[in-house]
Structure 1
Amino acid sequence: MIFTKKRYSVNDLILKKDLNYQKNLDLFLVNYYEKDRFFYWNKKTEKLFSFTDLFIIKKNLRKINQNKNINLICKKKRFYNLDLKLKKGVFIPQYDTEGLVNLVLQNENNKKGFEIGVGSGAIILSILKNSNNKMDGIDISKKAIKLARYNQNKNQLKFKKINLLKKDLFKITKKLNYDFIVANPPYVSFNDSFLTKEAKNIQPKKGLFAKENGLYFYKYLISHNEFFLNRNGIFYFEIGLNQKKYLQKYLLDFKNLSFKFEKDLNNIDRYLVIKKEK
Protein backbone atom coordinates (compact mmCIF):
# COMPACT_ATOMS: atom_id res chain seq x y z
CA MET A 1 0.00 0.00 0.00
CA ILE A 2 1.38 3.44 -0.95
CA PHE A 3 0.76 6.24 1.56
CA THR A 4 0.64 9.74 0.12
CA LYS A 5 0.85 13.15 1.75
CA LYS A 6 -2.47 14.12 0.26
CA ARG A 7 -5.04 15.20 2.82
CA TYR A 8 -8.80 14.71 2.85
CA SER A 9 -11.87 16.55 4.11
CA VAL A 10 -14.94 15.03 5.71
CA ASN A 11 -16.65 15.48 2.32
CA ASP A 12 -14.22 12.95 0.86
CA LEU A 13 -15.44 10.41 3.40
CA ILE A 14 -19.09 10.66 2.37
CA LEU A 15 -18.97 8.09 -0.37
CA LYS A 16 -22.71 7.47 -0.07
CA LYS A 17 -25.64 9.71 0.70
CA ASP A 18 -26.98 6.97 2.93
CA LEU A 19 -28.09 8.46 6.28
CA ASN A 20 -27.01 5.36 8.21
CA TYR A 21 -23.52 5.68 6.74
CA GLN A 22 -23.31 9.32 7.83
CA LYS A 23 -24.60 8.43 11.30
CA ASN A 24 -21.94 5.74 11.68
CA LEU A 25 -19.28 8.12 10.40
CA ASP A 26 -20.37 10.66 13.01
CA LEU A 27 -20.22 8.00 15.71
CA PHE A 28 -16.71 6.91 14.79
CA LEU A 29 -15.28 10.41 14.47
CA VAL A 30 -16.52 11.39 17.93
CA ASN A 31 -15.33 8.21 19.64
CA TYR A 32 -12.02 7.73 17.86
CA TYR A 33 -10.77 11.27 17.25
CA GLU A 34 -12.48 12.75 20.32
CA LYS A 35 -13.81 15.78 18.49
CA ASP A 36 -17.40 16.92 18.58
CA ARG A 37 -19.11 15.88 15.36
CA PHE A 38 -19.91 19.52 14.54
CA PHE A 39 -16.19 20.25 14.48
CA TYR A 40 -15.98 18.14 11.34
CA TRP A 41 -19.24 19.06 9.68
CA ASN A 42 -18.47 22.77 10.03
CA LYS A 43 -15.14 22.26 8.30
CA LYS A 44 -16.29 20.14 5.36
CA THR A 45 -13.86 21.67 2.90
CA GLU A 46 -10.77 21.61 5.14
CA LYS A 47 -8.22 18.85 4.64
CA LEU A 48 -8.13 17.39 8.14
CA PHE A 49 -7.41 13.73 7.43
CA SER A 50 -4.32 11.94 6.13
CA PHE A 51 -4.44 8.88 3.89
CA THR A 52 -3.76 6.77 6.99
CA ASP A 53 -6.77 8.36 8.70
CA LEU A 54 -8.89 7.56 5.66
CA PHE A 55 -7.80 3.92 5.78
CA ILE A 56 -8.55 3.64 9.52
CA ILE A 57 -11.96 5.28 9.17
CA LYS A 58 -13.13 3.11 6.27
CA LYS A 59 -11.88 -0.07 7.93
CA ASN A 60 -13.71 0.65 11.17
CA LEU A 61 -16.90 1.85 9.49
CA ARG A 62 -17.17 -1.65 8.04
CA LYS A 63 -16.99 -3.03 11.58
CA ILE A 64 -19.69 -0.63 12.76
CA ASN A 65 -21.88 -1.71 9.86
CA GLN A 66 -21.42 -5.29 11.11
CA ASN A 67 -22.92 -4.14 14.43
CA LYS A 68 -19.65 -4.41 16.34
CA ASN A 69 -19.44 -2.36 19.54
CA ILE A 70 -18.12 1.16 18.97
CA ASN A 71 -16.19 1.21 22.26
CA LEU A 72 -14.35 -2.01 21.46
CA ILE A 73 -13.66 -0.80 17.92
CA CYS A 74 -12.06 2.38 19.28
CA LYS A 75 -10.67 0.54 22.32
CA LYS A 76 -11.56 3.45 24.58
CA LYS A 77 -14.43 5.17 26.35
CA ARG A 78 -15.12 8.39 28.23
CA PHE A 79 -16.47 7.78 31.73
CA TYR A 80 -16.96 10.47 34.38
CA ASN A 81 -14.40 12.72 32.67
CA LEU A 82 -11.86 9.91 32.49
CA ASP A 83 -10.30 8.64 29.27
CA LEU A 84 -10.36 4.87 29.63
CA LYS A 85 -8.58 2.35 27.49
CA LEU A 86 -10.66 -0.80 26.93
CA LYS A 87 -9.72 -4.39 26.21
CA LYS A 88 -11.78 -7.33 25.07
CA GLY A 89 -12.42 -9.61 28.03
CA VAL A 90 -12.60 -6.75 30.54
CA PHE A 91 -16.01 -5.34 31.48
CA ILE A 92 -16.99 -2.20 29.54
CA PRO A 93 -18.37 0.41 31.98
CA GLN A 94 -21.88 1.66 31.29
CA TYR A 95 -23.12 5.22 31.79
CA ASP A 96 -25.66 4.13 34.44
CA THR A 97 -22.69 3.43 36.69
CA GLU A 98 -21.79 7.13 36.77
CA GLY A 99 -24.79 7.47 39.10
CA LEU A 100 -23.15 5.01 41.49
CA VAL A 101 -19.98 7.13 41.48
CA ASN A 102 -22.10 10.22 42.21
CA LEU A 103 -23.60 8.58 45.30
CA VAL A 104 -20.18 7.76 46.71
CA LEU A 105 -18.82 11.24 46.04
CA GLN A 106 -21.84 12.88 47.69
CA ASN A 107 -21.19 11.01 50.93
CA GLU A 108 -17.55 9.97 51.18
CA ASN A 109 -14.35 12.01 51.51
CA ASN A 110 -11.13 11.42 53.45
CA LYS A 111 -12.30 7.85 54.00
CA LYS A 112 -10.90 4.39 53.36
CA GLY A 113 -12.78 2.58 50.59
CA PHE A 114 -12.77 -0.68 48.70
CA GLU A 115 -14.02 -1.62 45.24
CA ILE A 116 -14.88 -5.18 44.32
CA GLY A 117 -14.40 -5.98 40.63
CA VAL A 118 -12.44 -2.97 39.34
CA GLY A 119 -12.51 -3.95 35.65
CA SER A 120 -11.05 -1.07 33.64
CA GLY A 121 -10.82 1.08 36.77
CA ALA A 122 -13.81 3.26 35.86
CA ILE A 123 -15.39 3.45 39.33
CA ILE A 124 -12.36 3.52 41.61
CA LEU A 125 -10.44 6.02 39.46
CA SER A 126 -13.48 8.32 39.11
CA ILE A 127 -13.90 8.38 42.89
CA LEU A 128 -10.22 9.03 43.55
CA LYS A 129 -9.96 11.74 40.91
CA ASN A 130 -12.77 13.70 42.57
CA SER A 131 -12.10 13.12 46.29
CA ASN A 132 -9.43 12.64 48.95
CA ASN A 133 -10.37 9.04 49.71
CA LYS A 134 -7.88 6.19 49.94
CA MET A 135 -8.96 3.00 48.19
CA ASP A 136 -8.09 -0.62 47.57
CA GLY A 137 -9.52 -2.49 44.61
CA ILE A 138 -9.59 -6.13 43.59
CA ASP A 139 -10.47 -8.13 40.51
CA ILE A 140 -10.24 -11.82 39.78
CA SER A 141 -8.80 -11.02 36.34
CA LYS A 142 -5.09 -10.27 35.92
CA LYS A 143 -5.91 -8.55 32.61
CA ALA A 144 -8.37 -6.23 34.37
CA ILE A 145 -5.87 -5.22 37.07
CA LYS A 146 -3.22 -4.52 34.44
CA LEU A 147 -5.71 -2.40 32.46
CA ALA A 148 -6.85 -0.47 35.56
CA ARG A 149 -3.23 0.37 36.39
CA TYR A 150 -2.70 1.54 32.81
CA ASN A 151 -5.78 3.78 33.06
CA GLN A 152 -4.56 5.13 36.40
CA ASN A 153 -1.34 6.29 34.72
CA LYS A 154 -3.13 7.46 31.57
CA ASN A 155 -5.32 9.75 33.66
CA GLN A 156 -2.40 11.04 35.74
CA LEU A 157 -3.62 9.51 38.99
CA LYS A 158 -0.35 7.88 40.08
CA PHE A 159 -0.17 10.20 43.08
CA LYS A 160 -3.51 8.99 44.44
CA LYS A 161 -3.55 6.49 47.31
CA ILE A 162 -4.74 3.36 45.56
CA ASN A 163 -3.85 -0.31 45.79
CA LEU A 164 -4.99 -2.63 42.97
CA LEU A 165 -4.73 -6.38 43.50
CA LYS A 166 -5.63 -9.55 41.63
CA LYS A 167 -7.69 -11.34 44.23
CA ASP A 168 -10.75 -13.56 44.56
CA LEU A 169 -13.34 -12.00 46.85
CA PHE A 170 -14.37 -15.39 48.20
CA LYS A 171 -10.81 -16.30 49.21
CA ILE A 172 -10.21 -13.29 51.44
CA THR A 173 -9.70 -14.63 54.97
CA LYS A 174 -8.32 -11.59 56.81
CA LYS A 175 -10.95 -9.35 58.41
CA LEU A 176 -11.26 -6.04 56.56
CA ASN A 177 -12.16 -2.64 57.98
CA TYR A 178 -13.46 -0.24 55.35
CA ASP A 179 -15.50 2.93 55.71
CA PHE A 180 -17.24 2.20 52.42
CA ILE A 181 -17.38 -0.51 49.78
CA VAL A 182 -18.54 0.07 46.22
CA ALA A 183 -19.41 -2.61 43.69
CA ASN A 184 -21.16 -3.14 40.40
CA PRO A 185 -21.01 -6.92 40.68
CA PRO A 186 -22.25 -9.56 38.24
CA TYR A 187 -26.01 -9.48 38.76
CA VAL A 188 -27.60 -11.09 35.71
CA SER A 189 -29.43 -14.38 36.21
CA PHE A 190 -28.23 -17.25 34.04
CA ASN A 191 -31.75 -17.62 32.62
CA ASP A 192 -32.36 -13.88 32.06
CA SER A 193 -34.33 -13.54 28.81
CA PHE A 194 -34.05 -9.73 28.67
CA LEU A 195 -30.27 -9.51 28.32
CA THR A 196 -29.40 -8.03 24.93
CA LYS A 197 -27.46 -10.00 22.37
CA GLU A 198 -24.84 -7.23 22.25
CA ALA A 199 -24.22 -7.43 26.00
CA LYS A 200 -23.78 -11.20 25.76
CA ASN A 201 -21.31 -10.80 22.92
CA ILE A 202 -19.13 -7.97 24.23
CA GLN A 203 -19.08 -8.37 28.01
CA PRO A 204 -17.10 -11.11 29.79
CA LYS A 205 -19.44 -13.73 31.24
CA LYS A 206 -17.78 -13.51 34.66
CA GLY A 207 -18.70 -9.83 34.75
CA LEU A 208 -22.35 -10.46 33.89
CA PHE A 209 -23.77 -13.61 35.44
CA ALA A 210 -24.25 -14.66 39.05
CA LYS A 211 -25.94 -17.54 40.84
CA GLU A 212 -29.13 -17.28 42.88
CA ASN A 213 -30.93 -15.30 40.18
CA GLY A 214 -28.13 -12.76 40.07
CA LEU A 215 -28.18 -12.07 43.83
CA TYR A 216 -25.20 -14.17 44.93
CA PHE A 217 -22.63 -11.37 45.36
CA TYR A 218 -25.05 -9.09 47.20
CA LYS A 219 -26.10 -11.81 49.62
CA TYR A 220 -22.50 -12.79 50.32
CA LEU A 221 -21.39 -9.24 51.07
CA ILE A 222 -24.48 -8.36 53.10
CA SER A 223 -24.24 -11.52 55.21
CA HIS A 224 -20.53 -10.82 55.83
CA ASN A 225 -20.97 -7.11 56.60
CA GLU A 226 -19.20 -7.53 59.97
CA PHE A 227 -16.18 -8.91 58.13
CA PHE A 228 -15.92 -6.10 55.58
CA LEU A 229 -17.20 -2.85 57.11
CA ASN A 230 -16.27 -0.59 60.01
CA ARG A 231 -19.00 0.61 62.34
CA ASN A 232 -21.16 3.04 60.32
CA GLY A 233 -19.57 1.69 57.14
CA ILE A 234 -21.59 1.75 53.92
CA PHE A 235 -22.12 -0.53 50.92
CA TYR A 236 -22.83 1.17 47.58
CA PHE A 237 -24.21 -1.29 45.01
CA GLU A 238 -25.54 -1.07 41.49
CA ILE A 239 -28.41 -3.53 41.10
CA GLY A 240 -30.30 -5.14 38.26
CA LEU A 241 -33.82 -4.48 37.06
CA ASN A 242 -36.53 -6.03 39.24
CA GLN A 243 -34.07 -7.01 41.99
CA LYS A 244 -35.27 -4.44 44.51
CA LYS A 245 -38.04 -6.54 46.07
CA TYR A 246 -35.80 -9.58 46.55
CA LEU A 247 -32.98 -7.60 48.13
CA GLN A 248 -35.42 -5.67 50.29
CA LYS A 249 -36.85 -8.89 51.68
CA TYR A 250 -33.37 -10.33 52.29
CA LEU A 251 -32.14 -7.20 54.09
CA LEU A 252 -35.01 -7.19 56.59
CA ASP A 253 -33.31 -10.09 58.40
CA PHE A 254 -30.29 -7.93 59.28
CA LYS A 255 -31.17 -5.76 62.26
CA ASN A 256 -27.79 -3.96 62.25
CA LEU A 257 -28.30 -2.63 58.72
CA SER A 258 -30.35 0.26 57.36
CA PHE A 259 -30.83 0.66 53.64
CA LYS A 260 -32.35 2.73 50.87
CA PHE A 261 -32.74 2.43 47.11
CA GLU A 262 -31.81 5.24 44.75
CA LYS A 263 -33.10 5.82 41.23
CA ASP A 264 -31.12 6.40 38.04
CA LEU A 265 -31.85 9.10 35.45
CA ASN A 266 -34.60 6.89 33.98
CA ASN A 267 -36.39 6.76 37.35
CA ILE A 268 -35.47 3.09 37.82
CA ASP A 269 -34.31 1.71 41.17
CA ARG A 270 -30.69 1.15 40.16
CA TYR A 271 -28.60 1.69 43.30
CA LEU A 272 -28.68 0.24 46.80
CA VAL A 273 -27.06 2.00 49.77
CA ILE A 274 -26.67 -0.07 52.95
CA LYS A 275 -25.35 1.35 56.24
CA LYS A 276 -23.99 -0.72 59.10
CA GLU A 277 -25.51 0.94 62.16
CA LYS A 278 -23.62 -0.92 64.89
Structure 2
Amino acid sequence: MTDTVESAIKRATLLLQSSSDSAKLDAQVLLLDVLQKPHSYLFSWPEKLLSAAQLQQFDEHCQRRLNGEPVAHITGLREFWSLPLQVNSSTLIPRPDTEILVEYALSLSLPMAAKVLDLGTGTGAIALALASEMPLWQITGVDRVADAITLANTNKQRLGFINVGFVQSDWFSQVDAQQFDLIVSNPPYIEYDDIHLSQGDVRFEPLSALVADDDGMADIKYIITQARDFLTSNGYLLIEHGYQQRTKVHSFFAQMAYTNILTVKDLANNDRVTLAQWPG
Protein backbone atom coordinates (compact mmCIF):
# COMPACT_ATOMS: atom_id res chain seq x y z
CA MET A 1 0.00 0.00 0.00
CA THR A 2 1.20 3.52 -0.78
CA ASP A 3 -0.04 7.09 -0.76
CA THR A 4 -0.16 9.93 -3.21
CA VAL A 5 1.35 13.27 -2.17
CA GLU A 6 -2.14 14.63 -1.52
CA SER A 7 -3.45 11.66 0.45
CA ALA A 8 -0.26 11.42 2.53
CA ILE A 9 -0.63 15.04 3.62
CA LYS A 10 -4.32 14.56 4.47
CA ARG A 11 -3.58 11.46 6.51
CA ALA A 12 -0.68 13.11 8.36
CA THR A 13 -2.71 16.25 9.04
CA LEU A 14 -5.35 14.21 10.84
CA LEU A 15 -2.68 12.34 12.77
CA LEU A 16 -0.89 15.49 13.93
CA GLN A 17 -3.91 17.54 14.94
CA SER A 18 -3.69 16.32 18.52
CA SER A 19 -0.09 17.51 18.94
CA SER A 20 0.24 20.56 16.72
CA ASP A 21 -1.57 23.82 16.08
CA SER A 22 -0.21 23.79 12.53
CA ALA A 23 -0.80 20.17 11.59
CA LYS A 24 -1.23 20.65 7.82
CA LEU A 25 1.81 22.90 7.50
CA ASP A 26 3.87 20.47 9.59
CA ALA A 27 2.79 17.60 7.34
CA GLN A 28 3.71 19.56 4.23
CA VAL A 29 7.15 20.55 5.53
CA LEU A 30 7.92 17.02 6.67
CA LEU A 31 6.89 15.53 3.33
CA LEU A 32 8.91 18.10 1.39
CA ASP A 33 11.94 17.14 3.48
CA VAL A 34 11.46 13.50 2.48
CA LEU A 35 10.94 14.37 -1.18
CA GLN A 36 13.63 17.08 -1.23
CA LYS A 37 11.32 19.24 -3.33
CA PRO A 38 10.17 22.89 -3.19
CA HIS A 39 6.73 23.80 -1.79
CA SER A 40 5.27 24.22 -5.28
CA TYR A 41 5.72 20.47 -5.85
CA LEU A 42 2.81 19.72 -3.53
CA PHE A 43 0.42 21.58 -5.82
CA SER A 44 2.02 20.55 -9.12
CA TRP A 45 2.14 16.81 -8.40
CA PRO A 46 -0.66 15.96 -5.90
CA GLU A 47 -1.28 12.54 -7.51
CA LYS A 48 2.38 11.50 -7.49
CA LEU A 49 2.78 8.17 -5.69
CA LEU A 50 5.28 7.91 -2.85
CA SER A 51 7.74 5.03 -2.91
CA ALA A 52 7.77 2.56 -0.02
CA ALA A 53 11.00 4.11 1.28
CA GLN A 54 9.57 7.64 1.07
CA LEU A 55 6.41 6.59 2.84
CA GLN A 56 8.36 4.90 5.62
CA GLN A 57 10.56 7.98 6.18
CA PHE A 58 7.51 10.25 6.14
CA ASP A 59 5.73 8.08 8.69
CA GLU A 60 8.83 8.18 10.90
CA HIS A 61 8.95 11.96 10.62
CA CYS A 62 5.28 12.20 11.56
CA GLN A 63 5.73 9.93 14.56
CA ARG A 64 8.54 12.11 15.86
CA ARG A 65 6.35 15.17 15.43
CA LEU A 66 3.47 13.37 17.14
CA ASN A 67 5.80 12.89 20.11
CA GLY A 68 6.29 16.65 20.23
CA GLU A 69 9.68 16.98 18.56
CA PRO A 70 10.04 20.30 16.70
CA VAL A 71 9.73 20.16 12.92
CA ALA A 72 13.03 22.04 12.63
CA HIS A 73 14.85 19.31 14.58
CA ILE A 74 13.33 16.62 12.38
CA THR A 75 14.29 18.30 9.11
CA GLY A 76 17.45 19.92 10.45
CA LEU A 77 16.50 23.25 8.88
CA ARG A 78 14.65 26.45 9.75
CA GLU A 79 14.25 29.52 7.58
CA PHE A 80 15.09 32.86 9.17
CA TRP A 81 15.14 36.16 7.28
CA SER A 82 14.73 34.02 4.12
CA LEU A 83 17.98 32.22 4.96
CA PRO A 84 17.92 28.40 5.26
CA LEU A 85 19.71 27.66 8.53
CA GLN A 86 20.79 24.31 9.87
CA VAL A 87 19.52 23.71 13.40
CA ASN A 88 20.04 21.11 16.10
CA SER A 89 19.33 20.54 19.78
CA SER A 90 22.38 22.53 20.92
CA THR A 91 20.67 25.88 20.28
CA LEU A 92 17.32 27.61 20.17
CA ILE A 93 15.31 27.31 16.98
CA PRO A 94 15.20 30.78 15.35
CA ARG A 95 11.73 32.31 15.64
CA PRO A 96 9.92 34.83 13.43
CA ASP A 97 9.55 37.33 16.31
CA THR A 98 13.33 37.72 16.43
CA GLU A 99 13.25 39.09 12.88
CA ILE A 100 11.86 42.26 14.50
CA LEU A 101 15.24 42.76 16.15
CA VAL A 102 16.99 42.36 12.79
CA GLU A 103 14.56 44.70 11.06
CA TYR A 104 15.04 47.44 13.62
CA ALA A 105 18.81 47.04 13.71
CA LEU A 106 18.88 47.60 9.95
CA SER A 107 16.85 50.79 10.33
CA LEU A 108 19.40 52.47 12.62
CA SER A 109 21.75 55.19 11.46
CA LEU A 110 25.12 53.45 11.67
CA PRO A 111 28.51 53.83 9.96
CA MET A 112 28.81 52.21 6.54
CA ALA A 113 31.36 49.74 7.94
CA ALA A 114 29.75 49.38 11.37
CA LYS A 115 31.23 46.98 13.90
CA VAL A 116 28.51 44.71 15.30
CA LEU A 117 28.45 42.13 18.11
CA ASP A 118 25.79 39.41 18.44
CA LEU A 119 25.72 37.96 21.97
CA GLY A 120 24.42 34.37 22.32
CA THR A 121 24.40 33.82 18.58
CA GLY A 122 23.16 30.19 18.61
CA THR A 123 22.61 29.17 14.98
CA GLY A 124 24.07 32.50 13.91
CA ALA A 125 20.62 33.63 12.76
CA ILE A 126 20.79 37.31 13.76
CA ALA A 127 24.42 37.79 12.74
CA LEU A 128 23.91 36.08 9.38
CA ALA A 129 20.70 37.99 8.67
CA LEU A 130 22.52 41.28 9.29
CA ALA A 131 25.48 40.10 7.21
CA SER A 132 23.17 39.29 4.31
CA GLU A 133 21.84 42.85 4.23
CA MET A 134 24.97 44.82 5.14
CA PRO A 135 28.03 43.31 3.43
CA LEU A 136 30.32 46.12 4.68
CA TRP A 137 29.42 45.62 8.34
CA GLN A 138 32.00 43.73 10.40
CA ILE A 139 29.97 41.29 12.50
CA THR A 140 31.07 39.02 15.34
CA GLY A 141 28.79 36.41 16.90
CA VAL A 142 29.63 34.80 20.23
CA ASP A 143 28.17 31.90 22.19
CA ARG A 144 29.44 30.05 25.26
CA VAL A 145 28.42 26.66 23.77
CA ALA A 146 31.06 25.12 21.49
CA ASP A 147 28.47 23.13 19.50
CA ALA A 148 26.58 26.35 18.80
CA ILE A 149 29.70 27.99 17.37
CA THR A 150 30.29 24.93 15.19
CA LEU A 151 26.71 25.16 13.93
CA ALA A 152 26.94 28.92 13.31
CA ASN A 153 30.15 28.43 11.32
CA THR A 154 28.48 25.69 9.28
CA ASN A 155 25.65 28.06 8.42
CA LYS A 156 28.13 30.81 7.55
CA GLN A 157 30.03 28.51 5.19
CA ARG A 158 26.86 27.25 3.52
CA LEU A 159 25.66 30.80 2.91
CA GLY A 160 29.08 32.10 1.89
CA PHE A 161 29.18 35.28 3.96
CA ILE A 162 32.66 36.68 4.57
CA ASN A 163 31.80 39.68 6.78
CA VAL A 164 30.89 37.67 9.88
CA GLY A 165 32.91 35.55 12.29
CA PHE A 166 32.01 33.41 15.31
CA VAL A 167 33.90 33.04 18.60
CA GLN A 168 33.24 30.87 21.65
CA SER A 169 32.74 33.26 24.54
CA ASP A 170 30.65 33.48 27.70
CA TRP A 171 29.06 36.82 26.81
CA PHE A 172 31.96 39.31 26.65
CA SER A 173 34.62 37.10 28.25
CA GLN A 174 36.56 36.33 25.05
CA VAL A 175 35.70 39.51 23.15
CA ASP A 176 38.81 41.56 22.43
CA ALA A 177 38.98 45.00 23.99
CA GLN A 178 37.21 46.93 21.24
CA GLN A 179 34.12 49.04 20.74
CA PHE A 180 31.06 48.27 18.67
CA ASP A 181 28.58 50.56 16.96
CA LEU A 182 25.83 48.01 17.61
CA ILE A 183 25.39 45.14 20.07
CA VAL A 184 22.40 42.81 19.67
CA SER A 185 21.25 39.88 21.77
CA ASN A 186 18.44 37.38 22.22
CA PRO A 187 19.48 36.15 25.69
CA PRO A 188 17.72 33.74 28.07
CA TYR A 189 14.83 35.66 29.64
CA ILE A 190 12.24 33.10 30.82
CA GLU A 191 11.59 32.43 34.50
CA TYR A 192 12.44 28.94 35.76
CA ASP A 193 8.83 28.23 36.82
CA ASP A 194 7.22 29.40 33.55
CA ILE A 195 4.58 26.82 32.58
CA HIS A 196 5.46 27.17 28.88
CA LEU A 197 8.76 25.37 29.49
CA SER A 198 6.84 22.09 29.74
CA GLN A 199 4.80 22.69 26.60
CA GLY A 200 5.39 22.49 22.86
CA ASP A 201 8.71 22.72 21.06
CA VAL A 202 10.65 24.33 23.91
CA ARG A 203 10.71 20.97 25.73
CA PHE A 204 13.33 19.89 23.17
CA GLU A 205 15.47 23.02 23.34
CA PRO A 206 18.40 23.67 25.74
CA LEU A 207 17.10 25.05 29.04
CA SER A 208 20.23 27.17 29.49
CA ALA A 209 19.32 29.15 26.38
CA LEU A 210 15.82 29.85 27.68
CA VAL A 211 15.84 30.56 31.41
CA ALA A 212 17.59 33.07 33.65
CA ASP A 213 17.69 33.94 37.35
CA ASP A 214 16.12 37.07 38.84
CA ASP A 215 12.71 36.44 37.24
CA GLY A 216 14.37 36.03 33.85
CA MET A 217 16.29 39.31 34.10
CA ALA A 218 19.78 38.17 35.19
CA ASP A 219 21.39 37.87 31.75
CA ILE A 220 19.64 40.97 30.44
CA LYS A 221 20.99 43.01 33.35
CA TYR A 222 24.48 41.59 32.90
CA ILE A 223 24.52 42.47 29.20
CA ILE A 224 23.20 45.99 29.78
CA THR A 225 25.82 46.56 32.50
CA GLN A 226 28.83 45.15 30.65
CA ALA A 227 27.95 46.49 27.19
CA ARG A 228 28.83 50.01 28.33
CA ASP A 229 32.52 49.08 28.09
CA PHE A 230 32.11 47.79 24.53
CA LEU A 231 29.90 50.42 22.87
CA THR A 232 31.07 53.42 20.92
CA SER A 233 29.78 56.84 21.90
CA ASN A 234 26.06 56.80 20.98
CA GLY A 235 26.34 53.12 20.07
CA TYR A 236 23.18 51.02 20.24
CA LEU A 237 22.24 48.00 22.35
CA LEU A 238 19.21 45.95 21.21
CA ILE A 239 17.87 43.18 23.45
CA GLU A 240 15.00 40.77 22.89
CA HIS A 241 12.99 40.07 26.04
CA GLY A 242 9.72 38.68 27.37
CA TYR A 243 6.52 40.57 26.60
CA GLN A 244 5.99 41.36 30.30
CA GLN A 245 9.53 42.59 30.94
CA ARG A 246 9.34 45.95 29.19
CA THR A 247 9.10 48.06 32.35
CA LYS A 248 11.96 46.24 34.09
CA VAL A 249 14.19 46.46 31.03
CA HIS A 250 13.43 50.16 30.54
CA SER A 251 14.13 50.85 34.20
CA PHE A 252 17.47 49.04 34.20
CA PHE A 253 18.61 50.74 30.99
CA ALA A 254 17.85 54.09 32.62
CA GLN A 255 19.55 53.05 35.88
CA MET A 256 22.69 52.25 33.88
CA ALA A 257 22.59 55.74 32.29
CA TYR A 258 21.56 54.76 28.75
CA THR A 259 19.53 57.23 26.71
CA ASN A 260 16.86 57.16 23.97
CA ILE A 261 15.28 53.98 25.34
CA LEU A 262 12.61 52.53 23.06
CA THR A 263 10.62 49.28 22.93
CA VAL A 264 9.48 47.65 19.68
CA LYS A 265 6.52 45.28 19.38
CA ASP A 266 6.60 41.88 17.69
CA LEU A 267 4.27 40.41 15.06
CA ALA A 268 1.65 39.68 17.73
CA ASN A 269 1.81 43.27 19.02
CA ASN A 270 3.67 42.24 22.17
CA ASP A 271 6.60 44.21 23.60
CA ARG A 272 9.59 42.22 22.36
CA VAL A 273 12.76 44.25 21.73
CA THR A 274 14.12 47.21 23.66
CA LEU A 275 16.97 49.37 22.40
CA ALA A 276 18.95 52.21 23.89
CA GLN A 277 22.04 54.30 23.20
CA TRP A 278 25.15 54.57 25.32
CA PRO A 279 26.15 58.23 25.52
CA GLY A 280 29.79 57.29 26.04
What value does the CA root-mean-square deviation take over the aligned residues? Answer: 2.5
Return the letter of the residue paired with 2:256.
Answer: F
Q: 1:181: which partner in 2?
A: 183
Decide which moves more: 135-144 or 26-35.
26-35
Query: What are the equivalent positions in structure 2 for 1:213-224 lying under 5 Å apart?
Result: 213-224=215-226
Mapped to 2, the partners of 1:41 and 1:19 lie a distance apart of 19
Return the letter of the residue paired with 1:270.
Answer: R
Q: How many residues align?
A: 268
| 1:76/1:83 contact within 8 Å kept | yes
The verdict on how the C-alpha distance between 1:29 and 1:145 changes in structure 2, with shifts beyond 3 A counting, is: same
Using the TM superposition, give the Cα deviation of residue 212 of structure 1 relative to its aligned residue in structure 2, in angstroms: 1.2
Unaligned runs of at least 5 residues, structure 1: 1-6
Return the letter of the residue paired with 1:252.
Answer: A
Using the TM superposition, give the Cα deviation of residue 161 of structure 1 relative to its aligned residue in structure 2, in angstroms: 2.0
The verdict on how the C-alpha distance between 1:59 and 1:230 changes in structure 2, with shifts beyond 3 A counting, is: same
The verdict on how the C-alpha distance between 1:14 and 1:167 changes in structure 2, with shifts beyond 3 A counting, is: closer
TM-score normalised to structure 1 length: 0.86
Is 1:119 aligned to residue 118 of structure 2? no
Mapped to 2, the partners of 1:128 and 1:15 lie a distance apart of 39
Q: Note the alpha carbon deviations across 1:157-212, whole angstroms, 9 max, x for none.
A: 2xx22221111126348533111001000111122234452244111011011111
Mapped to 2, the partners of 1:114 and 1:135 lie a distance apart of 6
Mapped to 2, the partners of 1:96 and 1:144 lie a distance apart of 20
Residue from 234, 241, 255 that aligns with 2:243: 241
Q: 1:4: which partner in 2?
A: none
Residue from 133, 151, 157 that aligns with 1:147: 151
TM-score normalised to structure 2 length: 0.86
Is 1:72 aligned to residue 76 of structure 2? no
Return the letter of the residue paired with 1:10.
Answer: V
| 2:139/2:163 contact within 8 Å kept | yes
Mapped to 2, the partners of 1:155 and 1:35 lie a distance apart of 18
Unaligned runs of at least 5 residues, structure 2: 17-22
Return the letter of the residue paired with 1:74.
Answer: T
Could you tell me the percent identity over the aligned residues?
A: 24
Q: 1:53: which partner in 2?
A: 54
Q: Look at both structures and tell me which one has the larger radius of gyration over its CA atoms.
A: 1
The verdict on how the C-alpha distance between 1:110 and 1:60 changes in structure 2, with shifts beyond 3 A counting, is: same
Using the TM superposition, give the Cα deviation of residue 17 of structure 1 relative to its aligned residue in structure 2, in angstroms: 9.1
| 1:29/1:35 contact within 8 Å kept | no
Mapped to 2, the partners of 1:173 and 1:46 lie a distance apart of 53
Q: 2:45: which partner in 1?
A: 43
Mapped to 2, the partners of 1:17 and 1:220 lie a distance apart of 45
Using the TM superposition, give the Cα deviation of residue 67 of structure 1 relative to its aligned residue in structure 2, in angstroms: 2.5
Q: 1:3: which partner in 2?
A: none
Q: 2:19: which partner in 1?
A: none
| 2:197/2:203 contact within 8 Å kept | no
Using the TM superposition, give the Cα deviation of residue 138 of structure 1 relative to its aligned residue in structure 2, in angstroms: 0.9
Mapped to 2, the partners of 1:196 and 1:241 lie a distance apart of 19
Q: 2:160: which partner in 1?
A: 156
Q: Report SS of the residue matched to 2:195.
A: coil
